[in-house]
Amino acid sequence: MTSPVSKTKRMRVLRATFVAVLLLILPAIAHRQPPAQEGFVPVDQLPGAEQMPAAPLVAAAYAVAWAAVLLYLFSIWKRLGTVERELADVAKRIEAGSRR
């Protein structure tokens, strides 16, 4: 016959053992390596995230090049227009000053 004190002690040991085993096993489960892969995976069988289509990237690269050049051309045209207007204005003021 076992005393209630020794039964409680045994239960405590069992619980401690269970927690210790859990603590040892859980990290091992969490850091488990994925199963080894044989050979290679064909491109069309890759997960969706890894199947990046090339066409949008190519289109974006060419669009960026053209947009940069066209915006720059527009900026030169605008700046030339501003300078031309200022040139005409100053020339007029000089002419008016020389007449006086």
Partner 1 sequence: MRRLFPVLLVLCMALFAYAPFLILNAPYESTMGLVQKIFYFHVSTAITMFVSAFTCGIASAIFLFGRRPAADRVGFAAAELTVLLGLVVLISGPLWARKAWGLWWQWDARLTSTLVMWLVFQAYLLLRRFGGPGSEKLAAAVGLFGAALVPFVYWSVNMWRTVHPTTNVVPTLDASMRGPFLWCVAAFLCLYVLLLAARTELEKRRARLDELYLALED
Residues that bind partner 1 (CB under 8 A): 52, 54-55, 57-58, 60-62, 64-65, 68-69, 72-73, 76, 79-80, 83-84, 86-87, 90-91, 93-94, 97
Q: Let me know: does 43 contact 51? Beta carbons within 8 Å.
A: yes
What is the rounded distance in angstroms from the CA atom of residue 48 to the CA atom of residue 38? 20
Closer by beta carbon to partner 1, 20 or else 67: 67
Task: Show the tokens assigned to 24.
Answer: 């040892």
Closest separation in Å from C-beta 77 to partner 1: 9
Closer by beta carbon to partner 1, 25 or else 87: 87
What is the rounded distance in angstroms from the CA atom of residue 2 to the CA atom of residue 8? 10
Closest separation in Å from C-beta 41 to partner 1: 15
What is the rounded distance in angstroms from the CA atom of residue 80 to the CA atom of residue 89? 14
